[in-house]
Structure 1
Amino acid sequence: MQTNKIHELAEDIVNIVTHDYARYNEISNKRVHRDYLNNITNGMDYNKFYKITDRYLKIFKDGHLRIKDNTGEILKNNFKVRRFNNKLYVTESNQNSPVQIGESITAIDEKTIDYIAQENQDILDESPERQDFSFILDHGREITLSNGKKINLIKDKTYLSHKSKYEFHKINQETMYLKFNDFNNAAEINNKIDIYREELDNSKNLLIDLRENKGGNDNSYFGLLDYVFKDKKYYSELKKEKDFIYYNVTKRNLDLRKKMLFSFLKPNDMKDTMLDKVIKKETAFFENNLGKGLVPYNDSEDIDFFINGKNKPQRIIVLTDYFCASSGENFIELVQKSSKVTVIGRNTMGVTDYSNCCEENKGDFSIIYPISKRSYVDYGLGILGKGIKADIYIPWTPEFIKEDQDLALALKIFKKSSI
């Protein structure tokens, strides 16, 4: 990164947020941008620039708006935590982590968890249960455990990186269990469905675990919808009334969107295919409305198919929590329309109000941001900061580290319905 042009890069990031980002016209606090730029100076090192920019983008509390390191040099904390009361409990760690799963943290850099939450309320959720302390741990130096022991934090380049995991197995004779930690790979998911089709067709109960689902592509879960719904219907019938999207039609967004869309096509795909038609329609829309800001776009005709509903499984439970985001949330929203389905756990992350992300590559880093807004936000029905509500709420407690209470309740409900 050219250190003599760091301030210029920061100014362009502010321009993305205030001009190209789908929420550009909802951001009224100009001081946030001014404070960010005042903290950026030419000549500062990349790590400091990354940290300041990361924090600036987190102020908007939109999981789809973020900075991504392309160098592999940014160090991260190497364990995960969840907050309960005034402690952080370790829920995941690796062999290099200085703490073990189940241990609890009472302070970071000699500041209590409650004090840190107050100090960082501009980037943390109001609800303690939904607070993500990863940024604070990434930049902290020392933690204090509940037993009073102080430990220096270890930062890794290869921290707890995400790997797609799709798990299918029978819990018991009547119940099939599916786990998706993302919806990134439609081909692999559909292949799994084909392999386990007989078990799915003959299972009385289906348990779908979307906890910590990081999203991906909606078409990855389309193959499951025949099992989710009992009645036959078209996919388009499931959309909310007056549910459409606005695209923020700027020159930057046109260029980035075209680049991304055309990357989906193989050389022999540039024919009269459905994908080709969708790309041409969207590109023409952007070119015809360039510079108009948020413009309504009807995407209901782009993707439609027939859902061949099935009687079995008869009962479906979907597990969800705060770390279920993006396409995972779209799935939750969709399946709650089925009489078969009960969603249990905690509210999802709440990032689908603004989606269709673009990536602006700046060399050492990229800025990822959404360019579309869903129409229901204007009716006060947005889920940003709230998430999609579970049908049965189960608060997270440290007992989850020893026993999966979501799973236990799901199996109890299945057993009761069998009596």
Structure 2
Amino acid sequence: MYIDIFNEVVDIMQNDYAGHKDKQGWDSPDRYRENIRELSNQHQLDDYTFINIINDYLLDFKDPHMFFIAKDEQSKTNKDIGFKVRRFNDVLYVTEVMSETRLNAGDRVIALDKLTVSELSLKHKRELRDEIPERQRWENIIEKYNTLYIENNYREVTSFNLKLYDKQQYTPIHSLEKLNHNTFNMTLTDFFSPDPIEKIIASNQERLSDLENLIIDVRQNRGGSDSSFEQLLPLLFPEGKTIINLDNYKMDFNITKRTADLQIKGLKSLQDKTTDTSFKESLDNMITFFQDNSGKGFVSFENGGEFEVEGSEFPKNIIVLADAYCGSAGDIFVDIASRSAKVAVIGRPTAGLNDYSNLINKDWEEKFSLYYPTSRMVSLDSGIKDTGVKPDTYVKWTPEHLQADIDMNIALNFLEER
């Protein structure tokens, strides 16, 4: 079973993945295939090990916009270390604790199996991808080690053996809360569907119609569909008509028969879950596009160009809080918002995931799911890559962010001075 699934993953990456022509010859499937066979013959291959092998193979393509996971979020193979970290200098600071109760936020990871963070950074350069410390993802690397060396806030150094825990399921947040008499904060952790945003706007029309200041927090936004945030655009732009040019997002889809079938299945599933008629119509158009072009390979998608936004006087001032954990449709949202005269972006550059995007998932036996990009930005032909949207005000991540919401405080001070 494992070797058959691996061979199909390789076939998808070498034929269906939107970057397969750009990255032809980058992968080395034979060594992974040999490892799978060897572990299988020794009866040492299980689902968890297999998932890690596939994700290691995917690193060959140097594309953070793809992953291989257990299909069921409650699967026993869906495990992690139970905490999150972020790098500052040569220390990994614990930023969030989920299941690993032996740690506290603010504790410092100074070594793994006696290897320092600096040594680990060199050893795992391939996995870390991004050399900027605050953008590096360390959790999957920590998972590979046995002993964690921790320095707490009292400068005491302790060590313990790492455990793996069932992953906590993602809980989406789409909320609007009052910060002070003239400022509200909207938190959006994904753009998977327009329905939650529609509900926020519908239930807060009176508040938004004369609001002085709005902060939109997308620092943890997981992306989704840019159609999901269309309803926010009139709030973002000043009163009157604004022309938005999206030529930088022109893309080609690699429409193999397999990808077309998966796209159509996924789009129909989204239709069943939404009540937004405009979104349903947009999904209908996409379904027709994939039906008409199934098996044709790379096909230009009629996006990009210009569209018009009818803006509003209120909110008068908008701050968008951004970070490296905001990507895909989140990248696009921050980019579009940054073009408005009444918007300022504060924080850190977004993830920059749209070179290859529009992920679709291929499932196996209700056990595994491969998510891979099906579209490719035309701008890559000119050597222009998506490196993330840079903020108007850059705020370097430091351990002080663990004591207070530094970005939010800067945003509030900014609005007071306006």
**Shared fold by TM > 0.5?**
yes
Provide the C-alpha distance between the structure 2 equivalents of 1:192 and 1:305, rounded to a whole number of angstroms.
24
1:388 maps to 389
Residue 155 of structure 1 pairs with residue 160 of structure 2: no
1:127 maps to 132
2:31 maps to 35
- The Cα RMSD (Å) is 2.5
Residue 91 of structure 1 pairs with residue 95 of structure 2: yes
2:188 maps to 180
Alignment of 1:30-179 (within 5 A): 30=26, 32-41=28-37, 42-43=40-41, 44-71=45-72, 72-74=75-77, 75-94=79-98, 96-124=100-128, 125-146=130-151, 147-157=156-166, 159-179=167-187
1:282 maps to 289
Equivalent residue for 2:260, pick from 246, 254, 259: 254
1:329 maps to 331
Q: For the Cα contact (< 8 Å) 1:97–1:154, is it kept in 2?
A: no
SS of the residue 2:199 aligns to? helix
Provide the C-alpha distance between the structure 2 equivalents of 1:239 and 1:177, rounded to a whole number of angstroms.
28
1:21 maps to 17
Residue 371 of structure 1 pairs with residue 374 of structure 2: yes
1:222 maps to 230
Alignment of 1:311-350 (within 5 A): 311-350=313-352
Q: 1:275 to 1:414 in 2, by over 3 A?
A: closer
Offset of residue 66 of structure 1:
0.6
Offset of residue 64 of structure 1:
2.4
- How many residue pairs match? The answer is 401
CA distances 1:153-196 after superposition (whole Å, capped 9, x unpaired): 22111x34321012211211221211111122421221111222
Q: 1:61 to 1:242 in 2, by over 3 A?
A: closer
Offset of residue 276 of structure 1:
6.9
Q: For the Cα contact (< 8 Å) 1:356–1:370, is it kept in 2?
A: yes
Q: For the Cα contact (< 8 Å) 1:81–1:92, is it kept in 2?
A: yes
Offset of residue 85 of structure 1:
0.8
Q: For the Cα contact (< 8 Å) 2:362–2:370, is it kept in 1?
A: yes
Provide the C-alpha distance between the structure 1 equivalents of 2:222 and 2:31, rounded to a whole number of angstroms.
31
Q: 1:31 to 1:209 in 2, by over 3 A?
A: closer
Offset of residue 300 of structure 1:
5.6
Offset of residue 216 of structure 1:
2.0
Offset of residue 311 of structure 1:
1.4
Q: For the Cα contact (< 8 Å) 1:102–1:401, is it kept in 2?
A: yes
Provide the C-alpha distance between the structure 2 equivalents of 1:369 and 1:398, rounded to a whole number of angstroms.
34
Residue 401 of structure 1 pairs with residue 402 of structure 2: yes
CA distances 1:238-267 after superposition (whole Å, capped 9, x unpaired): 233364210112121122112222334459
Offset of residue 38 of structure 1:
3.0
Provide the C-alpha distance between the structure 2 equivalents of 1:59 and 1:83, rounded to a whole number of angstroms.
24
Equivalent residue for 1:207, pick from 215, 228, 237: 215
Q: 1:313 to 1:115 in 2, by over 3 A?
A: same
Q: For the Cα contact (< 8 Å) 2:149–2:158, is it kept in 1?
A: yes
Q: For the Cα contact (< 8 Å) 1:345–1:393, is it kept in 2?
A: yes
SS of the residue 2:105 aligns to? coil
Q: 1:344 to 1:242 in 2, by over 3 A?
A: closer
CA distances 1:129-172 after superposition (whole Å, capped 9, x unpaired): 11100111233222101232002222111x34321012211211
Provide the C-alpha distance between the structure 2 equivalents of 1:94 and 1:264, rounded to a whole number of angstroms.
30
CA distances 1:330-384 after superposition (whole Å, capped 9, x unpaired): 100111111111111111111122112111111221111010112222222221x
Q: 1:201 to 1:23 in 2, by over 3 A?
A: same
Q: Report the residue type matching 2:21 in the other structure.
A: N
Q: Report the residue type matching 2:377 in the other structure.
A: R
CA distances 1:193-243 after superposition (whole Å, capped 9, x unpaired): 122222222221111111111112223222211110014447xx4233364
Provide the C-alpha distance between the structure 1 equivalents of 2:283 and 2:123, rounded to a whole number of angstroms.
50
Q: 1:394 to 1:265 in 2, by over 3 A?
A: closer
Q: Report the residue type matching 2:112 in the other structure.
A: I
Q: Report the residue type matching 1:253 in the other structure.
A: T
Offset of residue 28 of structure 1:
3.8
Q: 1:54 to 1:152 in 2, by over 3 A?
A: same
Provide the C-alpha distance between the structure 2 equivalents of 1:378 and 1:66, rounded to a whole number of angstroms.
25
Q: Report the residue type matching 1:344 in the other structure.
A: I
Q: For the Cα contact (< 8 Å) 2:172–2:190, is it kept in 1?
A: yes
Q: 1:185 to 1:277 in 2, by over 3 A?
A: closer
SS of the residue 2:28 aligns to? helix
1:7 maps to 3
The more displaced of 31-40 and 18-27 is: 31-40
Gaps in structure 1 of 5+ consecutive residues: none
SS of the residue 2:21 aligns to? helix
CA distances 1:75-110 after superposition (whole Å, capped 9, x unpaired): 211011101111111111125432111111101122
Tell me the TM-score normalised to structure 2 length: 0.89
Q: For the Cα contact (< 8 Å) 1:59–1:123, is it kept in 2?
A: no
SS of the residue 1:149 aligns to? strand
The more displaced of 257-266 and 162-171 is: 257-266
